[in-house]
Homo-oligomer: A and B are copies of this chain.
Amino acid sequence: MDFELNTVEAGTVTSVHGFVAGAVSAGIKKQDVLDLAILHSITPCTAAGVFTSNAIKSAPVLINQQHLRDKKAQAIVVNSGYANACTADKGKNDAGQMAKSVAKKLDISPQDVLVASTGVIGIPLPMDKIQKGIEKIVLSGKGGHDLAKAMMTTDTFAKEIAVHIRIDQRGFTIGGVAKGAGMIHPNMATMLCFLATDAVVDAKFLQSALKKAVDKSFNMITIDGDTSPSDTVAILANGMAGNPTICEQNGELFQRAIDKVCIYLAKSIAKDGEGATKLIEVTVEGAISEQEARLAARTIASSPLVKTAIHGNDPNWGRIVSALGRSGANIKEDKLDAYIDYICVMEQGNPVPFDKEIAITVLKKQEVLLRVNLNLGHGKANAWGCDLSTEYVNINSAYTT
Q: List residues of A whose CB falls within 8 A of some B CB.
A: 53-57, 83, 85-88, 120-124, 182-183, 185, 224-229, 302-305, 308-309, 311-319, 321-327, 329-331, 333-334, 345-346, 349-351, 356, 360, 388-390, 392-401
Contact B224 A304 (CB under 8 A): yes
Measured CB to CB, the closest approach of chain B to A295, in angstroms, equals 12
By beta carbon, the residue of chain B nearest A306 is: B226
Measured CB to CB, the closest approach of chain B to A226, in angstroms, equals 5
B-chain residues with CB within 8 Å of residue A398 when the two chains form the complex: 312, 314
Given A56-B321, A308-B393, A312-B398, output 7 extra A-B contacts at Cβ < 8 Å: A56-B333, A86-B321, A121-B318, A182-B305, A185-B326, A311-B397, A314-B401
B-chain residues with CB within 8 Å of residue A53 when the two chains form the complex: 326
By beta carbon, the residue of chain B nearest A349 is: B88
Contact A396 B305 (CB under 8 A): yes
Contact B314 A56 (CB under 8 A): no
Interchain residue pairs with CB less than 8 A apart (19): A53-B326, A54-B325, A55-B331, A120-B318, A122-B317, A124-B351, A185-B326, A225-B302, A229-B325, A304-B304, A308-B392, A308-B396, A309-B397, A309-B399, A314-B397, A316-B399, A360-B401, A390-B390, A392-B393
Q: How many copies of this protein are present in the complex? A: 2
Q: A335 vs B357: C-alpha distance in the bound complex, in angstroms?
A: 56
B-chain residues with CB within 8 Å of residue A57 when the two chains form the complex: 325, 333
B-chain residues with CB within 8 Å of residue A390 when the two chains form the complex: 390, 393-394
Contact B346 A400 (CB under 8 A): no
Contact A319 B397 (CB under 8 A): no
Q: A46 vs B388: C-alpha distance in the bound complex, in angstroms?
A: 44
